[in-house]
Amino acid sequence: MHDLIRMTAREVLARLNAGDISHGEVLDALEARVVAVDGAVNALPTLCFDRARAHAAKIAALPVAERGILGGLPVPIKDLEAVAGVRSTQGSPLYADHVPAASGWIVERIEARGGVVYAKSNTPEFGAGASTFNAVFGRTRNPWNLSRSVAGSSGGAAAALASGQAWLAQGSDMGGSLRNPASFCGVVGLRPAPGRVPKGPGAEPFASLSVNGPMARNVGDLGLLLDAMAGPDRRDPRAQPGNSGFRASAEAPTVPRRVAFSRDLGITPVDPEVAAICEAAARRFEAMGATVEEAQPDLEGAHEAFQTLRAVSFATGHAIEYAEQRDQLKPDVIWNIEKGLAVTGEQVARANRLRARLVANMAAFFDSFDLLLSPATIVAPFPVGERTVLHCDGQAFESYIDWLAIAFAVTLTSAPALSLPCGFTQGGLPVGLQMVGPLRSEGPLLSHAAALEAELGLDLGPIDPREGA
């Protein structure tokens, strides 16, 4: 493996800024790595290295101070986002040959701040799915064990990071779509509070379930990418001002005073081995001087509220595709849209009332605690051929998204949450710890995550893809 591939994003950036390496050398190393390993993983099905080299050359010609936060670092974009002049499919046969003329807002932001787009990362159709596969590009496999899933829907991004095909990656998260793949692949992913990072254009300008967020191999690099992604956009009515300093927070570890740990947030079964690994990691805060207690906010009603509001979101965003080309959509997408179209006004009103209570409960919870910890996913990576998790610890699930409750309950509160690698199963599969902070506390959350990351001291690669049974 090339020395550059093993470096952190911040190390590569420092060498670029010092003139020790060229932007062309960085892209050459990355392209060689993609050629070497992505045939097994299928994380980055669409490449655009010619476009990337042209953009990198323009950045390289600028003084270092004018190159932007990312300074020419390569970043893959999840295939739900449009990239101008690059095949952008949303994982759907309906858009298999779509080449947009304009980029999505987050792509514009990343490129304006010195990011170089070189690939699109794989995703389920329209981001609907517990595992990353689609009819256009097929399945993405877990580099830690190629027989295992990467979860969804930012699965290609997480797999690219773990296998050394990316230093940084853009993802998005509604019900854990960024946190779940991070957990399964042993990388770090942050779901920021709504409005922290611009999202659009789209059919729901005021929606707050789905957000864009950064993914990386370590917390410091995550802070770097969040600095590049965050900030107001005049087209996004949710955008928040004053978004910066996240890398600095991630590079200044701090220990919270009072930490709450919950094995299940009171709403879901959890695999006992996963729960034990996460609790052991959470207890490491005690060695650093924090108080760790078993506690959780009252999240009753999360299942009903999320199912309703998510369904409405899918119906809003994809009703046209459903009306005109229903026969070309996968069953999971059809189920989501039809559920949304059948929702009554009374059900929406009830879901909003439930959500308001969850937001209030979470806010009150953080009057007593600085940090809430739980498993990021309720199971370790499952077989790649399975569509979803149908049962856990003896309990069967009614729908394909029920296993995501430990993540989507937090989504409903709008609290920032990240998945931090915290250990491995006896079978050598990664497990992520979900770390949740008060609303708009991304800076302290990154700082606390950096402290635990250092305490755990895990060796996470990047790795060569590993065969498994």
Token pair of 368 as six digits: 């007593």
Catalytic residue among 92, 121, 177, 262: 177
Beta bridge mates, 82: none
CA–CA separation, 285 and 358 (whole Å): 27
Query: Is 177 one of the catalytic residues?
Result: yes
CA angle 419, 422, 427 (to 5 degrees): 115
Q: Of the candidates 215, 87, 104, 220, which has an alpha carbon nearest to the alpha carbon of residue 154? A: 215
Query: Is 147 one of the catalytic residues?
Result: no
CA–CA separation, 430 and 146 (whole Å): 13
Catalytic residue among 78, 120, 199, 330: 78
Catalytic residue among 92, 103, 131, 153: 153
Contact 463, 185 (CB under 8 A): no
Query: Is 58 one of the catalytic residues?
Result: no
Q: Which residues are catalytic?
A: 78, 153, 177
